[in-house]
C-alpha cells in the first residue's frame, strides 16, 4: 500500500496545521481549562483533518462528500471553541493572530473541496 494521497491535499494540510497549532496552545493551559474547553477544542480541530482523510479513503463520491460535510461542521465547532477561549482569556491576541489566517483560508477551501466532489458525479 502506498502513501495516502490525502496528505497532498492543501485542505488537509491546512486542517492539520490548525489542529497542531491548537494542540501546542492547549497543552500549556492549566488542568481546568484543558479538561473543559481544551479537550473539546482539540477534538474538534483533530476531527477536521481526520474526516478529510477518512472521506478521501472512501471509494464513492457520496461518502466522500458526507465526510467533508462532517469536517466542515467540526471546523465550525472549532471556531466556536476558539471564540469562547478568547473571550475567557485563554487565548492571547498573538495566538489568535496565528490561528485566524489558517481558519480564514481553511473554510473556503473546505467548501471548494466539497464542490469539486459534486462535479465528479
Cell 466522500 maps to which residue? Answer: 64
Give the CA distances from residue 92 to residues 6, 54, 98, in Å, rounded to whole numbers and listed in that order: 32, 33, 10
CATH number at residue 12: 1.20.1440.60
Q: Is the pLDDT of residue 17 over 80?
A: yes
Number of domains within the chain:
1
Q: Is the pTM of this model over 0.85?
A: yes
Percent of the chain with pLDDT over 90: 79
In a domain, 53, yes or no: yes
In a domain, 1, yes or no: no
Structural domain span for residue 47: 7-118
pLDDT per residue as tens digits for the range 44-79: 999 999 999 999 887 788 888 999 999 999 999 999
In a domain, 2, yes or no: no
Amino acid at each position: 500500500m502506498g502513501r495516502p494521497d490525502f496528505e497532498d491535499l492543501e485542505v488537509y494540510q491546512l486542517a492539520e496545521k490548525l489542529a497542531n497549532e491548537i494542540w501546542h496552545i492547549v497543552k500549556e493551559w492549566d488542568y481546568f481549562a484543558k479538561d473543559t474547553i481544551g479537550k473539546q477544542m482539540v477534538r474538534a480541530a483533530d476531527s477536521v483533518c481526520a474526516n478529510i482523510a477518512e472521506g478521501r479513503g472512501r471509494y464513492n463520491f457520496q461518502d466522500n462528500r458526507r465526510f467533508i460535510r462532517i469536517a466542515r461542521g467540526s471546523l465550525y465547532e472549532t471556531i466556536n471553541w476558539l471564540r469562547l477561549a478568547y473571550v475567557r482569556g485563554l487565548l492571547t491576541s498573538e495566538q489568535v493572530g496565528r490561528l485566524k489566517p489558517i481558519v480564514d483560508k481553511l473554510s473556503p477551501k473546505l467548501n471548494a473541496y466539497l464542490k469539486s466532489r459534486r462535479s465528479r458525479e
